[in-house]
A and B are shown apart, each in its own frame.
Chain A
Amino acid sequence: ETGVTQTPRHLVMGMTNKKSLKCEQHLGHNAMYWYKQSAKKPLELMFVYNFKEQTENNSVPSRFSPECPNSSHLFLHLHTLQPEDSALYLCASSQDDGKPQHFGDGTRLSIL
């Protein structure tokens, strides 16, 4: 398997649920990213990890909790989400200079 793989592809959850999104990259990259893609808005960077260390938190609410156990895996733990959090969540990876970034196909998240 190659590239950036995200699971699940679709997720429906209630506002009180706890769930996790998973991302795995097979490109040998050192940096991984979470983005949020909402309709009619630019992609928004959420978190950056470089060599497993978080280097960027773009003022993301604490109900989103990232975890990067190694350079190949990235998780986004979700709890007590709001309806406005419904979006496509994209994972990306790159070499440590960030150029270029390669994206997965995303997890479509719907909050009931």
Chain B
Amino acid sequence: SQKIEQNSEALNIQEGKTATLTCNYTNYSPAYLQWYRQDPGRGPVFLLLIRENEKEKRKERLKVTFDTTLKQSLFHITASQPADSATYLCALDTGRRALTFGSGTRLQVQP
């Protein structure tokens, strides 16, 4: 069956360090993968989209990689700040005009 896996355990890091979040998927061949940020009680906010023919994409302190052979995406936040604390969701388009989301990883950046 199709599955998207994100580390369900919270990731705790110190301010200034790089946070790396993982998204693995099976039985999909997505044309692209997205990352969203969600704060408690609020809707997800789009961060980055990376296409299957792109290896890496950057936006300010954010970097996403996409390895279609490993079926994995890595999401990095460099020089992390306490304000980066949130849940980060990866999402795949399944080709049916529907996003399938992972369960999310909660990031806690300690000052």
To the question of whether A and B form a pair in one complex, the answer is: no
